Structure 1
């Protein structure tokens, strides 16, 4: 049995394993979260949910269903185990059909701008109705040097190109990790980030500035206008912020150009600067609650606390001694472990640039879309 046939057999067994009573409660929870009210709109949507649950959803112990399947089948060969575990490296995208060859199809992903030679465990029949120029939305997983369709593919005619380019752009902004599967995209983004950081420091004197909240929009727009001017873009920046509730009552905000990700914003940062200068302020409720929020909120980057602590590590140790009620706490000795405990997701996955480089085709489409919206 060749690799393609074995993949088809194992995928069927894997799906049956995932749909067994062992995982029913957890899968039901995922469906309830995905389809509020319990109404599953279409079979393709349900298939994608199940596929994600099998390959990417973390169970309570941190494993995925495919991890459990491999553990439950010690008779699998090393090649089969590697193939199954490799399926966790899922590529999600919006694909343009570029051509067919034998039982494979060439798919160009509008999101990461890479080409995937793809096969299906259904053979040629799976691609019979597809023509060059059509589009597919779906998922593929590694299969040796090729890729394998995982879950159902949704097909669209070539006439939907503009709408799907817009959808691909929106997906790229929501999930930059999908774009940065392409190493050239990541390298370009990091170069852009380095140039922008240099410009931010040139403009404001440091990679972090603390300002009153009411000038935040002005400062950020001034920065993006400087970026546009350097790039010889004539359109002026006007950023509309959608900030969390913290901005409603915060007095200050730190604007930080993180060298790994780009612009970040930390509300009431000035308050915490005062706290780290005078740790006795932790006795006051607002200082204590703000510091607790910075530490326990996993949407706040650990970079914010590092910046505060590294100004004076001895005083930082006193702040956390009082906050955590741990007399022996030392920032130098315990600080990193504390951040890893409360900011686990920042350490589990690489931090990626927030600026997304796009191809000229995508850039032209977005310019035309904006122009059409103005008219």
Structure 2
């Protein structure tokens, strides 16, 4: 196998999934705009131009692409390809929006969108801190839900006020409707923690108040309920290192005692062993680059979503 072939095969491990709008045809290729990541792809098919017969500028394709490394900037259709007419733009926009918001990693293939995502998250976090009084809260679930709905309502009202020309004369339903509802696993505990971190974004943690009590009073480490909770925080893949880091940083004088009791390691110190513990328990977190906790929508998808 040649070096070029090897590079091509390696590139195929990372296909680009998207919903594409046809920009134009160029010989055997079509130029596609990915509505999800807002990038253009010069695309070929291994069956030649016949694959694109029957589609024209403004039509849509849903498919996956893989890079052709022997031809810089060229992409190849991989697998099934579904085509849709221009008249389906509204439905296509909704499908692309769902893909972008449910799988934001697809959006952040675009470095520009990645930076926009970080910037928007910084702005949203600053607004959250100003509205809520801090970036870490511990509340009963009902109060947390009310606070978050108040925050999202505040953000929407601010967005509407900032664009009076675009909203004048339009009916704007939903300002008084709930924006956020906690899932059952967060609605049932006595407390939940809400942390809006600069890197990890906005996250919610069940029974965070009990965990905070443990770090504030390490004698509680002898209680089975508190031990089981900390073990769950260390074990669960749905929980990043963030809450444990936060509590250890907030209680440096007691964190060592908590972990010594839990791990039965009298020589454990958080400053020396804490990060290694998290790396062992949560390798998935350290294996991935951090991404913004908000999604970013491209200009063309935004226009299609409002019927332009």
RMSD between superposed Cα atoms in Å: 2.0
> Is 1:285 the counterpart of 2:213 in the alignment?
no
Shift of residue 357, structure 1, vs aligned partner: 2.3
Distance change (3 Å), C-alpha of 1:77 and 1:350: same
Paired residue for 1:269?
208
Partners of 2:302 and 2:5 lie apart in 1 by 42
In terms of fraction of residues, the more helix-rich structure is: 1
Q: Which aligned pairs between 1:67-146 and structure 2 lie closer than 5 A? A: 76-143=1-68, 144-146=72-74
Paired residue for 1:165?
93
Query: If the length of structure 2 is used for normalisation, what is the TM-score?
Result: 0.87
Paired residue for 1:184?
112
Shift of residue 208, structure 1, vs aligned partner: 0.8
Partners of 2:203 and 2:306 lie apart in 1 by 26
5+ residue gaps, structure 1: 1-75, 369-375
The alignment partner of 1:358 has SS state of: coil
Distance change (3 Å), C-alpha of 1:126 and 1:361: closer
The alignment partner of 2:137 has SS state of: strand
1:121-142 CA distance string (max 9 Å, x none): 2222222232222221111011
The alignment partner of 1:150 has SS state of: strand
Partners of 2:273 and 2:252 lie apart in 1 by 11
1:259-290 CA distance string (max 9 Å, x none): 12432111211111110112221222221121
Shift of residue 175, structure 1, vs aligned partner: 0.4
Partners of 1:331 and 1:165 lie apart in 2 by 49
Distance change (3 Å), C-alpha of 1:261 and 1:277: closer
Partners of 1:364 and 1:110 lie apart in 2 by 11
Partners of 1:257 and 1:242 lie apart in 2 by 16
Instruction: Figure out how many residues of one structure are paired with residues of the other and give that number.
Output: 292
The alignment partner of 1:231 has SS state of: helix
Paired residue for 1:3?
none
Partners of 1:201 and 1:135 lie apart in 2 by 41
> Is 1:335 the counterpart of 2:263 in the alignment?
no
Partners of 1:305 and 1:367 lie apart in 2 by 43
Partners of 1:334 and 1:227 lie apart in 2 by 41
Partners of 1:104 and 1:290 lie apart in 2 by 56
Partners of 1:185 and 1:92 lie apart in 2 by 16
Paired residue for 1:243?
183
Partners of 2:52 and 2:302 lie apart in 1 by 30
The alignment partner of 2:254 has SS state of: helix
Shift of residue 147, structure 1, vs aligned partner: 0.9
Q: Which aligned pairs between 1:7-22 and structure 2 lie closer than 5 A? A: none
Partners of 1:355 and 1:168 lie apart in 2 by 16
Partners of 1:328 and 1:364 lie apart in 2 by 60
Partners of 2:76 and 2:299 lie apart in 1 by 29
Shift of residue 80, structure 1, vs aligned partner: 1.9
Partners of 2:156 and 2:186 lie apart in 1 by 29
Residues 142, 187 of structure 2: 8 Å contact kept:
no
Partners of 2:306 and 2:114 lie apart in 1 by 23
Residues 217, 239 of structure 1: 8 Å contact kept:
no
> Is 1:345 the counterpart of 2:273 in the alignment?
no
Paired residue for 1:23?
none
Distance change (3 Å), C-alpha of 1:77 and 1:314: farther
Residues 314, 330 of structure 1: 8 Å contact kept:
no
Partners of 1:217 and 1:367 lie apart in 2 by 29
5+ residue gaps, structure 2: 162-171
